[in-house]
Structure 1
Amino acid sequence: MSADLAPLIAATAQWLTRAYPSGGGAMDLALCEAQARQAVTVAAWLRYPTPMDAALVAVAGPGGSDRLDWVTGADGAGDDPDAYGWRTWVDEVVASWAACLLAAPGLAEAALGALTGSGHASGTPVDFRRLLTPDARDRRAAALLRHPDLLAPVAGLHQDRLLDRLKPGPALTA
C-alpha cells in the first residue's frame, strides 16, 4: 500500500526541504531530507490509512503546493510546469501535519503510536529514529526544518485536523 503514496511522500518531502533547507554540506542535506521524509511518511500514513484512501489520492491527486508556496512566500515557484511538475504531487495537509510532527517531538510520538497495527508498515521494518530522537547532528542539519516559529504558518494550516485524528476513538482503528 505504501507504494501508492510514494510520489506524494517524495514530492511533499522535497517541498519541505526546499522551503526549509539545510544550511550545511551534502551530509547535512541528506540528514535534513531523511527527517523530512520520515515526518511526511508518518503524516501520509495517518492521512491515508487504508488501501482505498491511498488508491483514491493516487487517482485524484493530492492538490499541489500552490497554497503552501503562498503561505511561505514562495509565490510563483510552480509557474514553470516543466521544471516543477513534481509540485502537483505535494499534499498540503500532509505537509502541514509533517511540519507539526517536526516541530513537536511529543506529537510525533503520538502520531507513530496511532499507526500501531496499521497496514502501511506491515512486513517491512520501519525506523523513524531521526524523526523521534534526532541527535545533535540531525538537529543542526535540520535547524530550519525543525524550528517551531518558522514552521508555524505551514503547521497551523491543518494542525486541528491532526489533533482530531490523534484523539483516541474509532477513527484511529481504520
Structure 2
Amino acid sequence: MQADLSPVIAATAQWLTRSFPASGGALASALCEVQARQAVTVAAWLRYPTEMDAALLGVSGPGGSARLDWVTGADAALGDEVDAHAWRTWVDEVVASWAASLLTDTELAARAVAALAEGSHSSGTHAEFRRLVAPDDSDRRAAALLRHPDLLAPVAELHHGQLLDRLNPGRTLIA
C-alpha cells in the first residue's frame, strides 16, 4: 500500500505551474516551481497528516484536475489533450486549493507550516519552506502569476474554509 504523497505533490505542483506559469527564463521557472512545490507539500501534509491518511489516498485516488481545469477555464484549451496526460489524475483539488491560499497569504502560510508539527510527515526531518513563507523579490517576480491573489482566487476559494478549519479547529464564527 502506498503511503507516499509524492505523486500527488508532483502532479498538483505541475498543475499549478502550468496554470500560473513563471514570468521569465529558466531561473524564474525553477523559482516558481520551488514555490509551488513547497505550497503543495505543506497543503498535502496538512490534508493527509498521517501515514494512514496518505495510504487511504493511494487507494481511493485524489480525484484529478477536471474541476480545477473548469474553474480556471483550462478545460476548453485542453480539448482532447486531457486524456493524453495521465498525471492529471493525480492532481488533488483540495490540496491545489489550499496551496493557492498559502501562496497568496504569507501569514496563513506561516501558520500552516507551524501546524505541520502535529502531523507525522515532518517528524524526524527538518523541512524548510522559506520560499513559501518569506519570499524575496526574485521569488515574487518569478511567481508573479502563481502568487497573484485575483488570479488564484477561484482556486483558493474552493476549499479555503476547510483550510481555516484545519488550522483553527473548533473556532467560533462571529456573525
> Normalized against structure 2, the TM-score is what?
0.91
Deviation digits for residues 131-174 of structure 1 (CA, Å, limit 9, x no counterpart): 010110000000000000100000000000101111146xxxxx
The CA deviation at 1:123 is 2.3
Q: Name the counterpart of 1:172.
A: none
Of stretches 131-140 and 109-118 in structure 1, the one that deviates more from structure 2 is 109-118
Q: Which runs of 5+ in 1 are unaligned?
A: 170-174
Equivalent residues of 1:69, 1:75 under 8 A apart: yes
Any unmatched runs of 5+ in structure 2? 171-175
Give per-residue Cα distances to partners, 1:76-114, cap 9 Å, x unaligned: 537436631000000000000000000000100111111
Tell me if the contact between 2:3 and 2:52 (Cα under 8 Å) persists in the aligned partners. Answer: no
Distance (Å, rounded) in 1 between the aligned partners of 2:121 and 2:158: 25
Which stretch has the larger CA shift, 78-87 or 150-159? 78-87
The equivalent of 1:132 in structure 2 is: 133
Partner of 1:104: 105
1:50 and 1:78 map into 2 onto residues whose CA distance is 37
Counterpart in 1 of 2:8?
A: 8
- Segment of structure 1 superposing worse, 41-50 or 123-132: 123-132
Residue type at the aligned position of 2:119: S
Aligned-residue Cα RMSD (Å) equals: 1.6
Q: Runs ≥4 in structure 1, deviation > 6 angstroms? A: none
How much identity, in percent, do the aligned residues show? 71
Q: Which amino acid aligns with 2:32?
A: C
Q: Within 1, Cα distance between the matches of 2:111 and 2:21? A: 26
CA contact (8 A) 1:64 1:88 kept: yes
How many residues align? The count is: 168
In the TM superposition, residue 116 of structure 1 has moved relative to its aligned partner by 1.4
- 1:23 aligns to what SS in structure 2? coil
1:121 shift after superposition: 1.5
Q: Is the 8 A contact 1:78 1:87 kept in 2?
A: no
What SS does the aligned partner of 2:4 have? helix
**Structure 2 residue 45 is the aligned partner of structure 1 residue 39:** no
Contact 1:16 1:95 in 2 (8 A): yes
SS across alignment from 1:116: helix
* Separation of aligned partners in 2, 1:3 and 1:114: 20
